[in-house]
Structure 1
């Protein structure tokens, strides 16, 4: 009887130990992705001086698609929301190139960057002049198939899909037209720093820790085998990396964009379309990588509590000392 009780106690203790180990492993090795929480243990300060030479240019854009459903029914995004999210650019001490098809946003962004006239270029553009939007009718054709999966707005609004491809078209345009005068260039979503709109601290975007300029830096969202098929990735709205921030050395970035453009065309020919995130996942699977031979990625994986979508951005975010508004 005593032996039996000891045996039961042993297994109970063992079970608790395994459970605690599993929880500890998750907490230490792969923290839970907590949406809406800034992924920082603390806000780091910039170690240099505010006016020292820049080595990183930010490219961003806003294309007015009106209001559109994002995710679940009743959740919609629109111009006013993006204006609020984009207000963080008022405090960014980096060269910034902003593309838009909206006179209103061109004026708003110009006013927002009033303190940095020499670090700001606003480019008003007809979005149909970008190669990214020249796929719109082919994408519309794919989405018109009633059997094609519907993920709002990724596979519902063709113009939204094109706006995601336009990230790379804008970066390419900025580099090839020599608007970028720094060694490194970063695509940054207009609403990337939506979690700190109330913080109102001056900051500078820097290269992230352990950055390898022979690769393109990007944020990793999930662990994947990279054996998935393009069909499954697009039809399941699957994710591996995020497209909100992409960083690289100028010439390497241009090569990467050419890889990306070829990948989009390849998948459109296969009747597959969605956002840049599905394209990036598909083109770096083991089979597709051998076909497309893209520039290598350097994936950053979150190691602190917070939203894994924004981890890499906050590794680059450094606040300037004694600069508050």
Structure 2
């Protein structure tokens, strides 16, 4: 993808050690109606994961943002109980969750990159209880039948940012697929169905890119083209200035250069899920902004539920 390369480096471990859901906890939860112990209400997030070389290239500005996630307590002083990731790299006809008992596998769904990238592992525990609760919530909201995948691990849209955000790989992770044949409004409503997870201490994380046109990238250091800056500015304004959720749902017609910024919606729809999961009138906050490859925006957002925002 024309990104700078550097030598592979194992992520640093940190002194803070999250307490994951144990296998015994999972079995108890699965046998008791999939109930979680409520810890705190979580914000939801959309992060731009950019190029897979984020995993090894320390010169990418966004890498430092992801590495600061735990020290800066971006998602709270304590790690989440579990993480539900909606990535731009898993598309299915019907909503699907990966139900993994044991450790998640690491999927290398990219080609032509430096060999050290294919040696990286992110063996985060699976979250079968979260997967089944996600399935239940979606089916109750009319999004069923929701399928189960018992073999699929984490694609690079999930494990690349997570290996920097939670480098100890000890927070349980579940993935939910996208339906790229459906629009932003559909994924926003899908996110709304997942809102109860926030009260269970679950981090709902959309992982994509604020702009994503691989054919129109350029060398680092070259000016960002107007179509990219204008789309990125529209997104910030729609989210931050007016909370124009309806406009974001209709981004193809409402945004300037929408189809240029996203020839395929796969990397933008995770934002709709995260935004919907925060609920109506959620407050948006820009938590990172940077560019690589001239036109690849790493703009990332936090969505705080309205009730929490008032407190």
- TM-score past 0.5 threshold: no
Which structure is larger by alpha-carbon Rg, 1 or 2?
Answer: 1
What TM-score, normalized to structure 1?
0.31
Structure that is richer in helix per residue: 1
What TM-score, normalized to structure 2?
0.32
